[in-house]
Structures are given as structure tokens and as C-alpha cells.
Amino acid sequence: MAKQGKYAIHPDFAHYPAIPFPFNRFVVSLINGLMDMDTFFRQRHLLKKAIKHSVVSADGASFNVYQFMPDDFKTGEKLPAIVYYHGGAFVLKYASTHLVSMDIYAQRARCAVFMVDYRLAPKYVFPKGFEDCFAALQWGATHAEKLHVDSKRIAIAGDSAGGTFSAGVAQKVKDAGGPAICGQLLIYPALDKSSSTESATAFLDTPLWNGVANKKMWEMYLRDYAGKAAPPYAAPNDRSDLGGLVTAYVENAEFDPLRDEAEAYAKRLQTAGVKTVFNPTKGTVHGYDTVFDSEISKAAMQQRLDFLKLIFG
């Protein structure tokens, strides 16, 4: 184990910078433009083979969903599916690395993957992006036949802010009585708006993501609820009763301000009687799994795939 400053971060992730994350609209727009360029030059072949769908949200706004399929898909098959919500602090677009992950899930779990290009803050704060995420699940379930999907084997998944959406959507599914999902996969999710856990208050200078940025993110994302309790589904750990939620996989990173809230949520799910796989990765930082050739990243991906195969049956 090699140290980056005071943290025993594994050498595979020691190159990640520790930089403050700005929530300035101009800077966020610039970063998203650079991410678009990165996706175009690195992974445009993956985006080209995806099928782009236009989906309508609860307020009538349209957003895109990208469908990835296994290369050996045969016409007439009904596949299990993942509705995937990418991370990015609620403000960033999907990254080129997200496309790589979508293809891995499609090929190795042999399923359809629907990556949701939801509306972004700071222009669209809660509930807009969340409504897009729930609408994408409803759309996928409603059009399962046409999309070559088995409606009884649809899971939801997401990383970071996408994990927030996944946990919130799972809660809304229970309250609304559908659409039916077979599992929720939460990868280093943001779940606690208070930013008051030990990891959130201690990790103020960790690579890629830190407690300072985490607090600013929640203030920005829930700015319409300043001084008030968060509305249902916005900050999933606020929910008092987790009983009856769908089978879950929860993964965290060791040197990540979100570490403790993910662990706490996994334990609360287990206490509430929800079947839950908890994977606490070691020597890792937020976003560590974008180093695809790391043995640690490979092991985590295998655990996610094992979970998907379990819930898909």
C-alpha cells in the first residue's frame, strides 16, 4: 500500500488529484464540454453502437436514454435489463468511462443496459433529474416487449449521485407499487445530506471527491429546500423505514467522504430485513473503478456482476 499524503491509498489510484470541485455554472459547463470531447475521441465507437431513445419526463420535458445490448444478442430474445443512472455530483454528464462500464455490464451480465441522460443541476435541481430517472424506469417497463426486455428482470443501478437516484427510485417504486424491479445496485452512493458522518467530516482533502465538495453539492442540489427537511427520495438515508425495499448491493470506497453513509445504509437495509450485499473496498477513493486494469476494480466489477446474475436468475 502506498500513501498519498496522509492516506494509505493503493498505488493504482495514487495518481488521482486532490482538487476542489467548483459548482460555478460556467466552470461546470466548461467541464461538461471537455467531457464531451473526451467521450468523442475515446469511446465514440461505444456511443455509436448504442440505440438512442427520447423519453418524456413527468413535466413533459424530453431526455435521452442510451440502450446497450450484448454483441451476441439474437432477435426474439428477452433479456434482463439494467436502468443505469451515471454519477457526476448531479451536475456532470456521463463520462467516457461510463460508456466502458455500460458495455461491460451488457456483455458480461448479458443484459440490456439503459443509461439515462437525465437533466443536470445547477440549472435543474431536485426533483427534475430524479423525475427523469423514475420516468426512464417507467418507460423501460412499459415498452419492455419492444425493447427486447423481460419486464420481470429489470434492475436499477448507479454510481455516486447515480447511486442516490437508484436508492431514491427504489424507495418510490415501493411507495408507488411499481414498476417492478428485481434489485438495486448502489456504487459509492451519496445518501446523507447532512454530511456529518465521520468520513464526510474527516476526508476534506481526498482525491477526486472530498467532504467540502460533498457539502456544497447537497446545498446546491437541495437549494429549494434550504432550512427544511429534504423531500422524499432526495436524500435516501433520511427515510425512516427501509422495510420492504428490493434486494440491494451497496459498495463503498475506503478514502471517500461517502464511505460511512453507504455502510450505514447497507446495515439499515439488512436490519430492515432487506437482502443486502455490502462490499467495502480497501485502499480505494471515490471513482476508483475507472482504473479498469486495477485488480481491485476488476474484483469489484466481478462482485457487481455476481449480484446481477443472482437477481436476474
Catalytic residues, which ones?
A: 160, 256, 286
Q: What distance, in Å, lies between the first and last C-alpha atoms of the chain?
A: 37
Rounded to whole angstroms, the Cα distance separating 122 from 23 reads 8
Q: Compute how many other C-beta atoms are within 10 angstroms of the C-beta atom of residue 128.
A: 19
Closest CA to 94 of 173, 39, 155, 149: 39
Rounded to whole angstroms, the Cα distance separating 89 from 74 reads 37
Rounded to whole angstroms, the Cα distance separating 94 from 92 reads 7
CA dihedral 298, 103, 78, 58 (to 10 degrees): 110
| CB burial of residue 271 (10 Å; 0-12, 13-18, 19+) | exposed
Rounded to whole angstroms, the Cα distance separating 295 from 250 reads 19
Quick check: 95 and 31 in contact, CB under 8 A? no
